[in-house]
């Protein structure tokens, strides 16, 4: 018999037992829906985490001064201070680093400063950052109003400032601050922009910040051992490790560190939190897979029982088919096709509902519509396996019926 004839017989049998077939298909559909839905949602959450941390620095790494390294010698304890990263070294790195990436040089010129507008004054907990043209991009900041620094403002060390959102809300709660002037310490600055809220992370107030031109930070807020920070945002996060290796090698050469000597700077990757969150989703994925398989196991047992009942009810039909020349292989194939068709109908319904439910979750986390091709194909393949496993025993039992006894069956 041809594939088309087998499928036609399978559909005719399903139509003759709509209730039982529908219930079995529904059970299979629920298992596939749980599996595809949860895994689609997890894919969406992963994409959301990667996107969020990409804007917050997941595709970046920093080159910083090592600060202090404690060494022990003869039972004593001493501190070795490493040389600060100079603006010249940072500029040389930026000029010579050819990896596809965006590079920014910044410097922290103060942690406990105050900002004042007229009679309103902030608490002394404001960070002053000196930044270049790329600082906002690599640091994950966005402007809510105003603009970034111009090349002229950067080169002339202009007294221009961009306010963090917490400072803006404190000093200018009802109006746009752009164009106004504030005092940072004793120096007067003109506001050219305000930042959108970034929130706080690990105790650092990301919104309690003012950003001034890099050269201005060196001139106005110069402190002893002020060290530059080089931030590199790679274009492709998958090339991060290669970029770190190349940057380390280049900066070692710039700082004239001998090949076998310990480096006197540190390289910090900024994607640790994202990786930890994504790694925790592995347990959720495993739990979802177990739940889906348990549901499918129940569906497989139910389908096998239904197929065994079908064999009993269609004993006379099987005898007639054998009497007119149907072989054991033909009978086996017919019952296997019936089991597979029921599974695939349930699987298709489960995949559709799973995609809908999964994408409801992805919408809530701010990720666009996802079509989980891998899970769709996996669901179809899984239903094929369930159909084969559930149908093989009833099919073998049907094919081994004695045609004479089957014809006499009432």
List strand residue ranges (DSSP E) for 123-255, in order.
126-131, 143-146, 160-163, 181-184, 187-195, 200-201, 204-205, 209-213, 228-234
- Tell me the CA distances in angstroms from 302 to 60, 293, 316, 340, 384, one per residue in order: 53, 14, 23, 14, 16
Output phi, psi for 7, to 5 deg.
Answer: -65, -40
pLDDT at residue number 365: 64
Using CA atoms of 278, 279, 281, 285 in order, give the dihedral in degrees to the nearest 10. 130
- Tell me the CA distances in angstroms from 110 to 86, 186, 218, 226, one per residue in order: 17, 13, 11, 10
Q: Which of 376, 378, 379, 299 is nearest to 339 (CA)?
A: 299
pLDDT at residue number 235: 86
pLDDT at residue number 311: 76
Q: Where are the domains of the chain?
A: 3-53+275-407, 60-270
Q: Give the tokens for residue 147.
A: 């603009």
Q: Give the tokens for residue 369.
A: 């519509």
Q: Which of 40, 80, 144, 136 is nearest to 359 (CA)?
A: 40
Mean pLDDT of successive 10-residue stretches along the chain, which has 410 residues: 67 72 80 80 73 62 68 39 84 92 90 88 90 89 92 93 92 91 92 82 64 92 82 86 91 87 80 62 76 75 77 75 76 81 86 86 72 82 83 81 64
Cα–Cα distance between 336 and 332 in angstroms, integer?
6
395: region left, alpha or beta (phi > 0 left; psi from -120 to 50 alpha): alpha
The predicted model scores a pTM of 0.53
Q: How many helices (H) and strands (E) does the chain have?
A: 13, 16
pLDDT at residue number 344: 86
pLDDT at residue number 52: 58
């Amino acid at each position: 018999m041809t594939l088309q004839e087998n499928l036609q017989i399978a559909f005719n049998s399903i139509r003759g037992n709509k209730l039982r077939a529908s219930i079995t298909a529904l059970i299979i559909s629920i298992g596939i829906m749980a599996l595809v839905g949860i895994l689609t949602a997890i894919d969406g959450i992963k994409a959301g985490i990667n996107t969020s941390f990409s804007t917050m620095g997941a595709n970046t790494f920093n080159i910083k001064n090592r600060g202090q390294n404690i060494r022990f010698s003869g039972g004593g304890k001493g501190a070795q201070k490493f040389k600060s990263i100079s603006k010249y070294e940072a500029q040389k790195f930026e000029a010579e680093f050819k990896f596809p990436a965006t590079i920014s040089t910044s410097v922290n010129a103060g942690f406990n400063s105050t900002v004042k507008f007229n009679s309103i004054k902030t608490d002394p907990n404001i960070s002053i950052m000196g930044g270049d043209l790329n600082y906002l991009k690599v640091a994950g900041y966005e402007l809510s109003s105003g603009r970034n620094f111009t090349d002229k403002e950067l080169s002339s060390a202009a007294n221009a400032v961009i306010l963090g959102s917490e400072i803006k809300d404190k000093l200018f709660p009802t109006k746009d601050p752009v164009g106004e002037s504030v005092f940072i310490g004793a120096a007067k600055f003109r506001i050219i922009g305000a930042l959108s809220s970034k929130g706080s992370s690990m105790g650092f107030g990301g919104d309690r910040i003012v950003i001034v031109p890099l050269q201005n930070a060196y001139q106005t807020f110069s402190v002893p051992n002020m060290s530059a920070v080089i931030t590199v945002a790679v274009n492709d996060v998958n090339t991060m490790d290669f970029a770190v290796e190349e940057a380390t090698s280049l900066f070692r050469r710039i700082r004239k560190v001998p090949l076998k000597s310990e480096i006197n700077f540190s390289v910090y990757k900024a994607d640790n939190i994202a990786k930890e969150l994504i790694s925790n989703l592995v347990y959720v994925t495993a739990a979802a897979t177990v739940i889906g398989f348990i549901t499918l196991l129940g569906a497989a047992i139910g389908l096998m029982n239904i197929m065994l009942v079908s064999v009993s009810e269609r004993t006379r039909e099987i005898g007639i088919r054998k009497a007119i020349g149907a072989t054991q292989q033909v009978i086996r194939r017919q019952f296997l096709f019936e089991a597979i068709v029921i599974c695939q109908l349930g699987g298709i319904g489960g995949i559709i509902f799973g995609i809908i439910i999964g994408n409801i979750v992805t919408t809530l986390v701010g990720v666009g519509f996802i079509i989980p091709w891998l899970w769709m194909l996996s669901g179809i393949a899984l239903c094929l396996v369930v159909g084969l496993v559930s149908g093989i025993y009833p099919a073998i039992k049907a094919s081994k019926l004695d045609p004479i006894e089957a014809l006499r069956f009432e």
